[in-house]
Amino acid sequence: MSADNSADDSEITAWALAAGLGDRRAAELFVRATYDDVRRFVAYLSADVRGADDLTQETYLRALASLARFAGRSCARVWLLAIARRVVVDRYRRAAVRPRIADTADWVTVADRAQPRHLPGFEESVALADALATMDPGRRQAFVLTRLLGLSYAEAADALGCPVGTIRSRVARARRDLAAVWKPDAVKGAEGTVTGMAV
């Protein structure tokens, strides 16, 4: 058995079920096959790329502790992304009740300087993250699951606990939201050509 990004949902679900029965190798394969999707999902939902590793780790801590109760009624990837969504929501709830503390008056400038620059796709990633941050959370979640992580509408509906029609509606509205805020001429490619985004 080998885990990679090409593992299909049936393999991932089989690994999750075996891990729930105590198979450590299956647990390792399950984590390897799903890690990138979970990290990408929590990074987009939280708009916190630097904190995504912590959120991903928290997701796996919860998921691995619950694998014995996973019955395989849905795809394990969908089940895992539903846990990841709850982890992000819980992080927001905890942050809302804590006071913000900064040891500098201009924390935005400090944070901006700490970000990597001049990497391929950096400007597009920043523009997409900014656009997603302005979006309604339900629309953002549906868009990230279906357009960035490649889940079907049914799988996204299962992960978010809502009807498929709601997912379709949220994705359509998210596309309109992104089209309204996306300014293709604001992002220049390496040769000075305008780059755009397919939503």
Mean residue pLDDT of the chain comes to 79
**How far apart are alpha carbons 64 and 67 in whole angstroms?**
5
When pLDDT is averaged across residues 18-26 and rounded to a whole number, the result is: 94
Bridge partners (DSSP) of residue 188 are 194
Contact status, residue 187 vs residue 124, Cβ threshold 8 Å: yes
| Residue 108: C-alpha distances to residues 11, 96, 131, 142 (Å) | 44, 19, 18, 29
**Burial (CB count <10 Å: 0-12, 13-18, 19+), residue 71:** exposed
Q: Is the pLDDT of residue 14 over 70?
A: yes
Using the predicted structure, report yes or no on whether residue 103 has a pLDDT greater than 60. Answer: no
> Of the candidates 100, 67, 84, which has an alpha carbon nearest to the alpha carbon of residue 160?
84
Backbone torsions φ then ψ of 146, nearest 5 degrees: -85, -40
Is the pLDDT at 191 greater than 50, yes or no?
Answer: no
Among the residue ranges 38-42, 101-105, 141-145, the one predicted with the least confidence is 101-105
pLDDT of 194: 39
Residue 196 pLDDT > 50:
no
- Among all chains, which residue has been given the structure tokens 């300087």? 113
Mean pLDDT over residues 80-95, rounded?
85
- The per-residue pLDDT for 51 is 84
